[in-house]
Amino acid sequence: MMDVMWSIAGFLVAIGVLVAFHEFGHYWVARRCGVKVLRFSIGFGKPLLTRRAADGVEWVVSAIPLGGYVKMLDSREAEVAEHERHLAFDQQPVRKRALIVAAGPVFNFILAVFFYWLIFVVGVEGMRPVIAAPAADSIAARAQLQAGDEILRLGGKDIATWEVLHTELIDQALNGESVIADVRTAAGATRQIELALQNARIDPAHLFDDLGLRPYDPPIAPVLESVLPGEAAERAGLQAGDRLLSVDGEPIASWQAWASWVRERAGAVVQLEFERQGQRLQREVIIGEVDSVGRFGASVAVSAEMWQDLRAEHRRGPVESVQAAMARTWQMSALTLKMMGRMVTGDVSVKNVSGPIQIAQVAGFSAQVGLVSFLGFLAIVSISLGVLNLLPVPMLDGGHLLFYAVEAVKGSPVSDQTMEMGARVGLLMLAGLMSLAFYNDIARLLS
């Protein structure tokens, strides 16, 4: 229940902030261009809160929190008094109309820069990009990477955390070329390796499987912290404090190795040797099963200090953070656009498209993790809104900009028939996109 509440709260805050700033961009530039604004609404549908300012602008919070709009004086929508015609949006030169329309997405990018600036100033915490043993015959294994290696640079860019490495690898994979990585071994020596990214699937769902890269997981001693009632461990008579030694004569090196071994042997009957208060004991264990996956039914004590050496914090000064934030926003904007293009060509699955349900879940999770995580989420969504709205699709800001570009070239506005046809096509495209997003969200929930 708490997760649901966090998701709803995170979603409402995210949409409220991002939509408000997007629409404020339209509003602010419209006022600077001498256009009369009638209404500023967060959400669609029935107004819930309304306030009319002294300048006549109606500020509204509406019932459906999936967007917003700025309504301006426009002679195409209602009759405009002669003395106010110069204040109408449609009476402005094409340059001003384009500036007003472009301001929304531009403000989304500005907001993303601000969020990243805050993140860099506060400091980014994460895990150092130290890798576990690569899967056999993976790209990393063929590059002779080994457990404990740390990737310091990729394609000449410094890599501070796994999050940065993740983004850079996706970005580099979209180029379809090999990339040089600087690596520090567990012994402290440095060397260069080549990752053949052209041999990997670029879809994020498969990329890291093909690469064989996953975070290094320090081995956890197989000492039981607790056993769950009615599960395999309790039925076999194991207790908290027992240290697992071997199974069917094979040594148990770590808790991770034991957990992996158990998952693949649902229903198996095995001989487990363990140590209890200095004594070696044996028990017959029948491995439990949940959805065809083996289950032991016990937890292990994990010390936070185990990962202390793997933690990294990346912080910059206020001035340096401005350039870093702008570079990060540019990179994520380009990456978003590339991913959209690869979805069109089929190289990236459309299953990566997320809708309100998935966004709400991620919003809630990131909000629970902490401020920096939530700010990073807001930055990504703000960039996505900016890129999406600039696509040359009728009904979106980019579609209007396309029509204005045509008008600037031909010297006259696009015909009403063309505008109407474009609006219908754009509406169908957006409806299809929203249907796909909702389908993906529901499919994720059911799976």
Model-level pTM? 0.80
Q: State the catalytic residues.
A: 23
So what's the pLDDT on residue 412? 84
* Cβ-based neighbours of 141, under 8 Å, separated by 6 or more: 134, 135, 212
Between the CA of residue 186 and those of 145, 148, 162, 296, 400, what are the distances in Å? 11, 5, 17, 33, 55
More confident residue, 218 or 438: 218
- Condensed to tens digits (0 to 9), the pLDDT of residues 24-58 reads 999 999 999 999 999 999 888 888 888 998 888 89
Nearest to 140 by CA among 203, 216, 219, 254: 216
Q: Pairing mode, if any, of strands 279-286 and 269-276? A: antiparallel
Q: Locate tokens 């474009």: which residue?
A: 422
pLDDT band for position 76 (cuts 50, 70, 90): confident
pLDDT at 213 over 90: no
- Condensed to tens digits (0 to 9), the pLDDT of residues 328-355 reads 999 999 988 888 888 888 777 777 777 6
So what's the pLDDT on residue 2? 61
- Condensed to tens digits (0 to 9), the pLDDT of residues 6-21 reads 777 777 777 788 888 9
* Cβ-based neighbours of 159, under 8 Å, separated by 6 or more: 129, 151, 152, 153, 165, 168
CATH of domain 224-301: 2.30.42.10
Residue 175 has what DSSP assignment? H
Q: Which amino acid is at 328?
A: R
Nearest to 434 by CA among 64, 16, 60, 91: 64
Domains 125-217+304-314 and 224-301 share a fold: yes
So what's the pLDDT on residue 383? 93
- Condensed to tens digits (0 to 9), the pLDDT of residues 161-200 reads 888 888 888 888 888 889 999 999 988 899 998 999 888 8
106 close to 318: Cβ distance less than 8 angstroms = no
| Least confident among 56-70, 220-234, 298-312 | 298-312
Q: Where are the domains of the chain?
A: 125-217+304-314, 224-301
So what's the pLDDT on residue 8? 73
Q: Regarding the domain delimited by 125-217+304-314, which CATH topology (the fold level of the hierarchy) does it fall under?
A: Pdz3 Domain (2.30.42)
Other C-beta atoms lying within 10 Å of the C-beta of residue 340: 16
pLDDT at 432 over 90: no
Secondary structure (H, E, C), 17-41: HHHHHHHHHHHHHHHHCCCCEEEEE
- Condensed to tens digits (0 to 9), the pLDDT of residues 85-131 reads 999 998 999 999 999 999 999 999 999 999 999 999 988 778 889 98
